[in-house]
Amino acid sequence: MSSALRRMWAVFKRELGGYFYTPVAYVFIVIFLLLCGVFTFQLGGFFERGQADLRPFFDFHPWLYLFLVPAVSMRLWAEERKQGTLELLLTLPIPLWASVAGKFLAAWVFCGIALALTFPMWITVGYLGSPDHGVIAAAYLGSWLMAGGFLAIGSFISALTRNQVIAFVGSVVVCLGFLLAGFGPVTDFLNSWAPQVIIDAITGFSFFTRFDSISKGVLDSRDLLFFASLILVCLFGTAVMVEVKKAG
């Protein structure tokens, strides 16, 4: 393993462990699972639909992530700056990209753990009927990718401030923008006056549209590419902001 990767691995382990040193991780996971349950069974009408799939479960993920993912990402850089550990981290022999990636991956894996803990849903639907497991697997993957997109945006915003509350609120607002870009009422509103090119451009950035097709089991390479490039662009922006703002 090259030394840069070894150091990224050290950052990753420290960061992931960091979630579990405090009750934050447990509180987050419990709330996430609780809300998943409430949304799926109460609002989503899981039983009433009488269909062996997890659509009602996945349909609410964008809204759940809107508030829960910024809670994970807000600390990534804002906390380092607040504690003064940013100076320590950046004077250790770790390339900046390795710190940015290590921290992001830790947060992403953490979200993955929370998501994986919803496996009883899958078991339940498998027990009650015979769902298309391929579709469910694709939807899980899509959901995790979307969480990565939210996290990367949150990482960027966290790099802009030393205040975690500002990082949280800022991330929620920006992520909301990405969600609403493809939300029915918004596109309807745009349809009434905007030219088609603009509508396409805006809805192209929508998490909703992308996630919708993935959660139906359609793994389109363009959707995967969208999330992958969104993550890379945001992480690049994170590195730039960390570099630019470290003096202040």
Partner 1 sequence: MIEIKGLVKRFGALTAVDGVSFSVQRGEVLGFLGPNGAGKSTTMKMLTGYLSPTAGRVTVVGHDVEQEPIAVKERIGYLPEGAPAYPDMTPWEFLNFIAQVRGIDRARRAARIEEVASMVHLEGVMRQTIDTLSKGYKRRVGLAQAILHDPEVLVMDEPTDGLDPNQKHEVRALIQKMAPAKAIVLSTHILEEVEAVCTRAIIINRGRIVADGTPAELRARSRHHNAVSVKIRAGGAVSAEAARSELARLAGVAGAEIGPSDNGDLSLIVYPKGQGSIASEVGAHVRSRGWVVDELRVEAGRLDEVFRDITVGRGEEVRS
Pick the piece of the chain touching partner 1 (CB under 8 A) from 17-25, 149-157, 182-190, 212-220: 17-25
Shortest reach from residue 77's CB to partner 1, in Å:
14
240 binds partner 1 (CB under 8 A): no
Q: Which is nearer to partner 1, 54 or 71 (CB)?
A: 71
2 binds partner 1 (CB under 8 A): no
Binding-site member from 2, 48, 50, 93 for partner 1 (CB under 8 A): 93
Binding-site member from 87, 132, 200, 220 for partner 1 (CB under 8 A): 87
22 binds partner 1 (CB under 8 A): yes
Is the separation of the CB atoms in 159 and 238 below 8 Å? yes
Binding-site member from 88, 165, 198, 201 for partner 1 (CB under 8 A): 88
Binding-site member from 2, 48, 91, 185 for partner 1 (CB under 8 A): 91
Task: Scan residues 137-196 and list those touching partner 1 (CB under 8 A).
Answer: none
Shortest reach from residue 90's CB to partner 1, in Å:
6
Residues that bind partner 1 (CB under 8 A): 3-4, 6-7, 9-11, 13-14, 17-18, 21-22, 83-85, 87-88, 90-95, 246-247
